[in-house]
Chains A and B, each alone.
Chain A
Amino acid sequence: MATRQTASLARLMRAPAIILLLIWMIVPLGMTLYYSFLNYNLLNPAGTSWAGWFNYRYFYTDPAFFDAIRNTLVLVLGVLVITVVGGIAIALLIDKPIWGQGIVRILIISPFFVMPPVAALIWKNMIMHPSYGVFADLAQVLGMQPVDWFAQFPLTSIIVIVAWQWLPFATLILLTSLQSLDGEQMEAAEMDGASALSRFIHLTLPHMARAITVVILIQTIFLLGIYAEILVTTNGGPGNASTNLTYLIYRAARLNFDIGGAAAGGIIAVILANLVAIFLMRAVGKNLD
C-alpha cells in the first residue's frame, strides 16, 4: 500500500517538470507543423494562405534536397568515425602515465572550449587557406601544389573541422571509461596468453562499449544540427556540395524568407532525426542496459 502511495506521489511530484518539458517541445513543434502547411513568406506576409502539401512537394522536388540529406548523413557518419576511432586512440595514449600528463590532457581537451564559428574561421584562414594556411605551407615545403580545401573538398573540410571540435569530448568520455577498467582483469588476460591486441579486442573494447554508445548518441544529436561551421566557411557550396539539411532550412528561412518552406524542411529534419535515432537505438542501444 505504502509503495503504491509513494508511486502516485512520485508521479504527482514529477508532473510539473514533465508538463513544462512537454509544452516546451510541443508548442514549437506544433507551430512548425502549422506553418509548414501555409504559404507564408516574410516578403509578403499579407499573402499568407493555406498551402496544403505544397511546401513539402516544393522541398522534396528541390534538387538540393537529396544532396542535403546525403551530406547530413555523411557529415554525421564521418565525424563519428573520426572521433570514436581517434578518441579511443588518444584515450589509450594519455591513459599511460607520462611526464606532464595534466598539461597534455588540458591541451587535448581545449578545442572543445572554442566556439564553433571561431574554430571554423581559424581553420579557414589559418590552416586550410590555399595561400596563408599551414597546410599550404606544408605542401610548398614538400614541393606540392597547395590544396584549396574548401573548393576541392568542401564536405571533407567541414568534417575535419567538426571532428577536431568533437574529438576532445569523445576522448574525455572514453578516457574515463578506460580508467575504470580493472587492472587485475588485464593481468589475468596477460597470464591467459592474450596478446596486447587480443586484450584490446576482448577486454578493452567490450568494457568501453557503453561509453562509445554514449559518445555516438550524444554526438549524433549535435551533429545533425551542424550549421555555424558551414555558414562561416563554404556557405553550403560550391553548389550544394556542403549543404546539409539544417543549412538548407536556414537558406529557405533567412535568404528566401520562406517561413512555410523552412517549416516543412524542419519537419523533415525532425523525421530524419527520429529515423536516425531509431536506427542507432536498434544498433547500439542495447549497450546502455
Chain B
Amino acid sequence: MGRITLENVTKRFGDVEVIPPLNLDINDGEFVVFVGPSGCGKSTLLRLIAGLEDTSGGRILIDGQDATSTPPAKRGLAMVFQSYALYPHMSVRKNIAFPMRMAGVPQDEQDRRIESAAKALNLTNYLDRKPGQLSGGQRQRVAIGRAIVREPSAFLFDEPLSNLDAALRVGMRLEISELHNRLETTMIYVTHDQVEAMTMADKIVVLQAGRIEQVGSPMELYRAPRNLFVAGFIGSPRMNLIDGPAAAEYDATTIGVRPEHIAVSGTEGKWKGRIGVSEHLGSDTFFYVEDTGLAETITVRAGGDIDLHHGDTVWLSPDIAQMHRFDANGDRIA
C-alpha cells in the first residue's frame, strides 16, 4: 500500500513561503513525477513527504494515517538521493544491509533480500566492493538496492539520474521503469528533465514557484496544457508560442503550435520565413525558421529526407486542429 495525500501542505523558510498551501493525491502503485525548473520547490516537496523537512502547515496522510509528525524512518518510505548517499566505508553488501540491520531483520532474511536485490540490479559480482570502486551507474543501482530491501510502501527519487552521463541516463530510466512495473509500488520521482517525466510517469505534476500548475498523465499534459507555463515546459523541442496579430486571428492572446504540428513547404503556406539553423538527425529534421515576423524563431519538425537548407525561404502552415489558444492571463481557452 502506498497512498499519499497532501492536504494544504505549506512550507516556509523564515518569511519566505516556498510552498503555498498545496493539495495532491497520489494513488497506490502510481509513478508520479514532480517536474519543474530549478528552485520550483519540487525537491522540498519530496523532502516534506520523506519527513526530512517539517511542514509549516497542512497534513500529510500515508495510507490514510496522519504522518505529518512521524519521523522519516517510521513512514515506510525509501529515498534515493541525487548524490546516491552511499556509506563510503561500507561494502555494497553492508550498504544494502544497513536499513535492515537498523530494523533488526534476522540475518538469513537479510541475506535472502540482499541476494534477490543484487540479482535484480546486476550487482551480484560487486557485493564485496566499496562504493568508491564502482561506476556512477552501479552506485545508483546500489542506492536503489538499499531502498528496495526495505520493502517500502513508496519510493522517493530525488533527481537520481542527473549525475549520470547521457547514455547511462537512458539505460537507468528504462531500469527504473521496469522496476516499477515489476514491484508495482508507488514511486515519486523528482526531475527537471521533461523527457524523463514524459517517458516514465503515470502522472506528471508540473510545479512552478511551489504551486502546482497542472496534474495529469503525460499525454494529457501534452495534448491540453492548462497554461502557457506547462505548454512551454512539456514537449521537446519547445512549443512555439506566438502572440500579436497572428494570434488575434484565432481569437487568442497567444497561440501555441508544437514543432511537429507545422507543415513546411518550399513553395506555399501561411507564414513565410527563412531557415536559420537546420539540424538533420536522419529520422527527423529540425528547422529554426527566422524572419517570420511572428516570434524570434519558429521551430519546425520535418521528415528526415526533406531537401531544404540554411538560407532557404520556406512557408509554414500550422495544423489548426492541434493549435493551443491562450488568453491574456496565459490560461488555456477551451
Contacts and interface: CB of A to CB of B under 8 A. Distances in A.
Given A182-B85, A207-B89, A191 B98 contact: no
Interface string B33-76: 00000000000000000111000000000000000000111100
B300 interface: no
B102 A182 contact: no
B297 to A, nearest CB: 40
B72 A190 contact: yes
A250 to B, nearest CB: 44
Interface in A179-231: 182, 184-185, 187-195, 198, 202-203, 206-207, 209
B99 A193 contact: yes
Contacts of A207: 88-89
Given A192-B73, A192-B146, A193-B73, A187 B99 contact: no
Contact of B50 (A182, A191, A198): A191
A184 B102 contact: no
Contacts of A182: 83, 85
A213 to B, nearest CB: 13
A203 B102 CA distance: 13
B82 interface: yes
B158 to A, nearest CB: 9
Contacts of B72: 187, 190-191
A193 B81 contact: no
A191 B102 contact: no
A198 B102 contact: yes
A185 B71 CA distance: 17
A194 B90 CA distance: 15
B191 to A, nearest CB: 17
Nearest to B73: A193
Contacts of A202: 87, 90, 98
Contacts of B78: 191
B87 A203 contact: yes
Interface in A29-83: none
Contacts of B99: 192-193
Given A192-B146, A192-B150, A187 B85 contact: yes
B73 A185 contact: no
A188 B79 contact: yes
Contacts of A193: 73-74, 99, 102-103
Contacts of B77: 191
B329 to A, nearest CB: 39
Contacts of B71: 190
B102 A192 contact: yes
A188 B85 contact: yes
Interface residues of B, number: 25
Interface string B141-155: 000001000100000
Given A191-B79, A192-B102, A184 B85 contact: yes
A185 B79 CA distance: 11
A192 B146 CA distance: 9
Contacts of A203: 87
A198 B101 CA distance: 11
Interface string B84-114: 0111111000000011001100000000000
Given A192-B98, A206-B89, A187 B52 contact: yes
Contacts of B73: 190-194
Interface string B1-17: 00000000000000000
B150 to A, nearest CB: 7
B132 to A, nearest CB: 12
A281 B330 CA distance: 69
A203 B71 CA distance: 19
Given A184-B82, A198-B102, A202-B98, A191 B52 contact: yes
Contacts of A192: 73, 98-99, 102, 146, 150
A141 to B, nearest CB: 43
Contacts of B51: 191
A6 B30 CA distance: 61
A190 B73 CA distance: 6
A209 B51 CA distance: 30
B102 A185 contact: no
Interface centre among A184, A192, A193, A207 (most CB of B within 10 A): A192
Greatest chain A CB density within 10 A among B51, B102, B150 is at B102
A91 to B, nearest CB: 19
Contacts of A209: 89
A193 B50 CA distance: 12
A190 B85 CA distance: 11
A182 to B, nearest CB: 7
B102 A194 contact: yes
A35 to B, nearest CB: 48
13 contacts: A184-B82, A184-B83, A184-B85, A187-B72, A188-B79, A188-B81, A188-B85, A191-B50, A191-B51, A191-B79, A192-B102, A193-B74, A193-B99
Interface of A: 182, 184-185, 187-195, 198, 202-203, 206-207, 209
Task: Enumerate the 6 nearest inter-chain pairs by beta-carbon distance, A residue then B residue, closest first.
Answer: A193-B73, A192-B99, A188-B85, A184-B85, A193-B102, A206-B89
Interface of B: 50-52, 71-74, 77-79, 81-83, 85-90, 98-99, 102-103, 146, 150
Given A188-B81, A190-B71, 13 more contacts: A184-B82, A187-B52, A188-B146, A190-B52, A191-B79, A192-B98, A192-B99, A192-B146, A193-B73, A193-B74, A198-B102, A202-B87, A203-B87
